[in-house]
Amino acid sequence: MLFTLTSKIINYMDLENQVTSLELSKRLKELGFKQESLFYWSKNGGQKWKIENSFYFKVDKRADISAYTAADLGDMLPEYVEKDEKIYWLKGYKLLEYVENYTYNSLCIFRADTEADARAKMLIYLRENNLI
């Protein structure tokens, strides 16, 4: 009964707005971030990518790509970063779009339509610049 109720609540159109975009998910995988999440971008035999819930569907971690939630990414982001003998603290806020940044004379600012994508952009920047 619980599974039936839960599966009816999940609306996959809304889910796409709560996880990282396919493009950012692919880049995170390329950069070596762990492929462990509740949701995955999967082709499942078809040509179109769609989001699967690993609780209900079998995922192939070699072919499928983690679709991280903002909470997943929050666990992966450090609280602060040290660069050039300065400490930069993570802050996130929402104006018209979601913004994630490390502040102390603004190390970097990333804007996106969703919190998950803003956090993904931040993680990508940090990995590409050897800050994590």
Residues 32 and 38: their CA atoms lie apart, in Å, by: 18
Distances (CA, A) of 125 to 24, 64, 84, 86, 118: 12, 23, 16, 17, 11
User: What pTM was computed for the model?
Assistant: 0.77
- End-to-end Cα separation, the chain, in angstroms: 43
Q: In terms of pLDDT, which residue wins out, 57 or 73?
A: 73
DSSP 30: H
Q: 98, 118 in Cβ contact below 8 A?
A: yes
Taking Cα atoms as reference points, which of 88, 122, 126, 121 lies closest to residue 106? 88
Q: What pLDDT band is residue 103 in, cutting at 50, 70 and 90?
A: low
99 vs 7, more confident: 99
pLDDT band at 27 (very low <50, low <70, confident <90, very high): very high
The pLDDT, as a whole number, for residue 100 is 63
Tell me if 36 sits within 8 A of 132, measured CB to CB: no
Delimit the domains of the chain by residue range: 2-128
Top mean pLDDT of 5-19, 28-42, 103-117 is at 28-42
